[in-house]
Structure 1
Amino acid sequence: MNHGANSEVGQLRSVLLHRPGPELQRLTPRNNDRLLFDGIPWIERAQEEHDAFAETLRGRGVEVLYLTGLLTETLADAEAREHAIAAALTGLHLGDTLRRYLADALADATPAELTELLTAGVRNDEVRGGFGLVTSLLAHDDFLIDPLPNLLFTRDSSVWLADRVAVTSLAMPARARETQLTELIWSRHPRFAGQTRIHGWAHEHVEGGDVLLLAPGVVAVGVGERTTPAGVERLARHLLHAGLAHTVLAVPIAQERATMHLDTVLTMVDVDTLVMYPNVADSLTAWTVTAAEPSDTESELELRVAGPAPFLQAAATAMGIDVLHRIDTGLDPVAAEREQWDDGNNTLAVAPKVAVAYERNEGTNARLEDAGIEVLRIAGSELGSGRGGPRCMSCPIARELL
């Protein structure tokens, strides 16, 4: 299968998901804020909801791949194992004695066991050796390797742009290690051998939830709580130099939890239509970034920056259309605010005019259907506790090109 995408709405062919697992059992009222969850999810129900989400996609002919499955297959390679273990043990809180012990213990694990240890984490009271000063002074329930409960949101740690996969750089410390695992998959799993990768976890912060492929050649990137201006500049420079885009729109968004990513306020549901949070529709702006002139080297490419302009206007101009149509979240300002918080804007298009959405956002779903969009409703009472909807929980690997 060819991998890649040039839009948000081309027929979805293959997608990366992560089924909630033992990493969610690590959440407690004392650590859930640090691990970026607004509550403690009921894990069995979250798994049921996620399984139904996956079946909805399969029912539309989408190949569903699971992150932990791909990671386990990747870790069968000795060099990949060494790389993963070394990356997991770089924390300055471990000390040499404990780091050596953990390195040996992880090296003895099977690929499946290592996958669970890297994703669910390791607590101090689970260590059966390495009893030096660090293990003596840490609390019994302190994590030596932190769990990764946000792996559920596979959109953020990588994004496919045309035929290349951008490994992103996540801003929050609780998520920083996720991209090291996704980079390992894209670089060392046999299915993706030779795949061209761009950006990378060591570069300026860019998160996949902020990156929207509005149309072939047009990429919008939110700039807010997670993605930085420097991150957008580096990504834009690469896309423009490589000919993967002719226009990049940098879109400032409020730096707050409710609008952590651009896809919390708008997502595409058709080639010329998006669902949008109306409370920001009139104030959202965009800076248009294009290449001033060709350059032999990416680093020397001069960028032309224009704006700001109203987002809908700037986007339509870049897309070469008269109007970018907007469907509002909710039925009134209060309902809009409630449904935006419940990820009413965060839809996943599986084809033009067909989108997956949380069933609880009744007002938004009614508006979508009135506009001719087929809504594939899924339950998300537990999945949404980490503040993410169907788009957040999916990383398209292959879409039909527009």
Structure 2
Amino acid sequence: MTAPPAKPYADSEVGRLRTVMLHRPGPELKRLTPRNNDDLLFDGIPWVGRAQEEHDAFAEALRGHGVEVLYLADLVRETLAVPDARAMVTEAVLADPRLGVGLRKAVGQLLDTLEPTALAEVLMAGLAHHELRTGRDTLTYTLMDEHDFVIDPLPNLLFTRDSSVWIGDQVAVTSFAMPARSRETTLTEAIYTHHPRFAGTELVYEPGFEHVEGGDVLLLAPGVIAVGVGERTTPAGAERLAQRVFERGLAHTVLALPIAQERATMHLDTICTMVDVDAVVMYPNIADSLVAYTMTAGEQPRLTGPEPFLTAAAKAMRIDMLRVIDTGLDPVTAEREQWDDGNNTLCIEPRLAVAYERNIETNARLEEAGIEVVRIAGSELGSGRGGPRCMSCPVSREPLQR
């Protein structure tokens, strides 16, 4: 007899992982070219077949440790069978101001003819200029470059961590800073609103709010959240998220961590992730300089700080010390492995983490510190600047004991 699926819930980064949402690379990655990869936030053009092989091995490694894997594409197709969900996502596509009146009508007519599987593919992989058969006599279409997309592809769907974060039994559907990713949350919100598996889910954050991205949100402990503030998440977004989780009783402390607004440190999880209930692996070049501003629950969030992140985190977590795994790397190696997402690990349970195999030195230091490392290939997956944590949205983790 098959056990019922685990209920959505997460109060930490390290509680036993039961269910995760992934997105297997698909035709949207085949839309990347040297002409558009920068706009679509990729540093290179991935070999899609190899990226799929690497992703399949990642998913199999998780299944091998008893984790249920949900695929975003399957959830999108199933969600689009619900009329209200279909209307929600097509309305978002047609709201694109680039389309104009005539082209918007033609695109709408096309989308209306597609059954859920075909519609899902267009919504994820986009619609190229030459693929549209009607509406070609409109000014907007005529003056488009032949390399333009009528509907942009979403290659960053690969990084499912960013568009939603489970906090307790509620989900934060995030608000993207980069235009290339803004439509991703339409699909995510539709899933959580209309898919039967997530019926009744409460949203603690919504796409219309200030910018917050999931890669910047770490659940340090039950009731304690760290939020990176930098290139993708704004101070206003961190403040709004704090207020929302305080109002819902989902947290008592939110730490806001200013991080450099650079490509290499686009999210907090590119420089720091948890590998045990009281331990993080952190980019050594910033470990001593990272500070935190502490917000605590009140009529409006009460603000104190700044103070060293490790000190503020330990206080909020009510532990003596938040340990940093000393990678002992020289500055050049540290910079190389940080760029290759050496600090971007996904915990399956305390002291068991998935990491890219290429970060040899970081992985060796983790194992010396008692962290078992599940190594996966990522030569092609990493071209979008994301590691195992970026590519996974935990839907269900076992609660940590308070």
The interval holding the TM-score normalised by the smaller chain is over 0.9
Amino acid at match of 2:151: I
2:204–2:245: 8 Å Cα contact kept in structure 1? Answer: no
1:369–1:375: 8 Å Cα contact kept in structure 2? Answer: yes
C-alpha distance in structure 2 between counterparts of 1:398 and 1:154, whole Å: 14
Q: How does 1:87-98 map to 2 (within 5 A)?
A: 87-98=92-103
1:328–1:364: 8 Å Cα contact kept in structure 2? Answer: no
1:330–1:361: 8 Å Cα contact kept in structure 2? Answer: no
Partner of 2:226: 220
2:126–2:149: 8 Å Cα contact kept in structure 1? Answer: yes
1:329–1:344: 8 Å Cα contact kept in structure 2? Answer: no
Amino acid at match of 1:59: G
Choose which of 311, 317, 325 in structure 2 pairs with 1:319. 317
> How big is each residue's C-alpha offset from its partner over 1:134-164, in whole Å with a ceiling of 9 and x where there is no partner?
1111122211110000000000000000110
1:274–1:325: 8 Å Cα contact kept in structure 2? Answer: yes
> How big is each residue's C-alpha offset from its partner over 1:95-126, in whole Å with a ceiling of 9 and x where there is no partner?
11111111111111010100110010011111
Aligned residues: 394
2:356 is the alignment partner of 1:355 = no
2:167 is the alignment partner of 1:161 = yes
Partner of 1:3: 8
Partner of 2:3: none
Q: Which runs of 5+ in 1 are unaligned?
A: 293-300
2:85 is the alignment partner of 1:80 = yes
Partner of 1:283: 289
C-alpha distance in structure 1 between counterparts of 2:194 and 2:55, whole Å: 27
> How big is each residue's C-alpha offset from its partner over 1:257-282, in whole Å with a ceiling of 9 and x where there is no partner?
00000001100000001100010011
C-alpha distance in structure 1 between counterparts of 2:365 and 2:60, whole Å: 25
Amino acid at match of 1:51: D
Partner of 2:111: 106
Choose which of 114, 124, 137 in structure 1 pairs with 2:129. 124
Quickly say closer, same or farther: Cα 1:330–1:68, change in 2 above 3 A.
Answer: farther
Question: SS in structure 1 opposite 2:361?
Answer: helix
C-alpha distance in structure 2 between counterparts of 1:357 and 1:64, whole Å: 17
2:13–2:219: 8 Å Cα contact kept in structure 1? Answer: yes
2:253 is the alignment partner of 1:255 = no
Q: Which runs of 5+ in 2 are unaligned?
A: 1-5
2:279 is the alignment partner of 1:267 = no
Question: SS in structure 2 opposite 1:331?
Answer: coil
- The alignment yields a C-alpha RMSD, in angstroms, of 0.8
C-alpha distance in structure 2 between counterparts of 1:246 and 1:17, whole Å: 29
Report the Cα offset of residue 179 of structure 1.
0.6
Partner of 1:43: 48
Amino acid at match of 1:199: Y
Quickly say closer, same or farther: Cα 1:328–1:338, change in 2 above 3 A.
Answer: farther
Report the Cα offset of residue 38 of structure 1.
0.3
Question: SS in structure 2 opposite 1:81?
Answer: helix
1:330–1:339: 8 Å Cα contact kept in structure 2? Answer: no
C-alpha distance in structure 2 between counterparts of 1:329 and 1:285, whole Å: 20
2:217 is the alignment partner of 1:211 = yes
What's the TM-score, normalizing by structure 2?
A: 0.97
Amino acid at match of 2:244: H
Partner of 2:35: 30
C-alpha distance in structure 1 between counterparts of 2:152 and 2:325, whole Å: 40
Choose which of 139, 146, 162 in structure 2 pairs with 1:140. 146
Quickly say closer, same or farther: Cα 1:330–1:102, change in 2 above 3 A.
Answer: farther
2:195 is the alignment partner of 1:189 = yes
Report the Cα offset of residue 331 of structure 1.
2.4
Question: SS in structure 2 opposite 1:165?
Answer: strand
> How big is each residue's C-alpha offset from its partner over 1:179-221, in whole Å with a ceiling of 9 and x where there is no partner?
1110000000000010111211111000000000000110000
Partner of 1:202: 208
Report the Cα offset of residue 330 of structure 1.
6.1
Report the Cα offset of residue 329 of structure 1.
4.3
C-alpha distance in structure 1 between counterparts of 2:378 and 2:177, whole Å: 25
Question: SS in structure 2 opposite 1:390?
Answer: coil
Moved over 4 A (4+): none
C-alpha distance in structure 2 between counterparts of 1:175 and 1:47, whole Å: 21
Partner of 1:401: 399
Report the Cα offset of residue 284 of structure 1.
0.2
1:89–1:145: 8 Å Cα contact kept in structure 2? Answer: no
Quickly say closer, same or farther: Cα 1:389–1:329, change in 2 above 3 A.
Answer: farther
Partner of 1:295: none
Question: SS in structure 1 opposite 2:286?
Answer: helix
